[in-house]
Structure 1
Amino acid sequence: MSESMEKKLAEAMAELTAVQDAVARAEEELGQASATVRSRDRAVEVTVGPQGELTALKFPDNRFQDMTGPQLAASVLEAVQEGRARMARRVMDVFEPLTRTTGGPTGLRGVDIDWDRAFGSALDGPDGGRRRSSARLHDEIHED
């Protein structure tokens, strides 16, 4: 193997290791992340974990007592959906730089991210089916 080829291989391995380390740091950071959201009517407060899972549900100031069942259900769903959306944006913001082509001399392609692993059921579309990650990213970019 020529010295030039060995140098390129060493650079590529160093880039790959750096990307793998960055992914591990991002996953660790997001593993402890959460979003806390109140419904617009302030009757419900939820906390959502990094995969969109509901981790806490509160009814501040007992405002729910004056609500009908359907009103309370709507407030819970609204808060949970907003919490999941915030966590999805946060996850995508953390990982987005890693999906681009690295700027290094090897021109390595960005990391392919398993959005199902990152988001869990938060990727479910309105019909209950999974949305493609690239379509989800496209939607998030256009919503901002």
Structure 2
Amino acid sequence: MSESLQERITQAMAELEATQAAVARAQADLSQASATVRSKDRVVEATVGAQGELTGLKFVDNKHQNMTGPQLAASVMEAVQQGRAQMARRVRDTFAPFTQPGPEGSVRRGLDVDWDRIFGSALSGGQAGSGRWTRNRLRDEIDEDDEHIG
């Protein structure tokens, strides 16, 4: 081994500090982020923050006045779900580099993140099951399917 233990510790600490700084920058950028989307029928415009919270709702050109309550509710839900999905993808993409192992020689191993557990159905715009599964969760699902064969 050409590296001493102290050199490896120093490298690990430098990588940790760089990662902490990068995470802090990502969090700061996302704290101001939002997504504004319109429903397919172009009646509702929803703005959603980085944590999936609804921060704005607009009825475009008063088109909603000709809609029934259930139609308007469906347009609102669609726009909000689309906004949540867009922000969830942005958050996932922002933090994705931290889930990958570091370059060769790095001590960073990467994280195994279950995006479905974090965002629920937001990644798919309201449809459960679109995020990355962890290896163990997939194995659990396969085992559960095997139990029902018979």
Q: TM-score higher than 0.5 here?
A: yes
Amino acid at match of 1:47: T
Per the alignment, residue 147 of structure 2 pairs with: none
Asked if 1:124 corresponds to 2:120, the answer is yes
Task: Report if aligned partners of 2:52, 2:87 keep a CA contact under 8 Å in 1.
Answer: yes
Q: Deviations over 1:18-43 (max 9, x none)?
A: 11111111011101100000001010
Q: Which amino acid aligns with 1:137?
A: R
1:46–1:54 Cα contact (<8 Å) kept:
yes
Q: Does 1:60 align with 2:60?
A: yes
CA contact (8 A) 1:8 1:106 kept: no
Q: For each residue in 1:53-83, what CA deviation from the matched residue of structure 2 results, as whole angstroms up to 9, or x when unmatched?
A: 0000000100000000000000000000000
Contact between 1:37 and 1:79, CA under 8 Å: does it hold in 2?
yes
Map 1:37-48 → 2, pairs under 5 A: 37-48=37-48
Equivalent residue runs for 1:4-43 within 5 Å: 4-43=4-43
1:51 counterpart residue number = 51
Amino acid at match of 2:48: V
Give the residue type in structure 2 aligned to 1:28.
Answer: A
TM-score by length of 1: 0.77
Match of 2:125 in 1: none
Structure with larger RCO (C-alpha < 8 A, sep 6+): 1
Matches within 5 A, 1:71-110: 71-103=71-103, 105-110=105-110
What is the number of equivalent residue pairs in this alignment? 126
Q: Which runs of 4+ in 1 moved over 6 A?
A: 112-116
CA distance in 2, matches of 1:105, 1:27: 27
SS state at 1:36 partner: strand
Largest Rg, 1 or 2:
2
Distance 1:51 1:77, change over 3 A: same
Identity percentage of aligned residues: 58
Q: Distance in 1 between matches of 2:59 and 2:93?
A: 30
Q: Does the residue aligned with 2:4 lie in a helix, a strand or coil? A: helix
Residues of 2 paired with 1:106 and 1:34: CA distance? 34
What is the distance in 1 between the residues matched to 2:131 and 2:115?
A: 9
Q: Take 1:16 and 1:100, find their aligned partners in 2: how far apart are those partners?
A: 14
**Structure 1 residues 125 and 94, CA gap change in structure 2 (3 angstroms):** closer
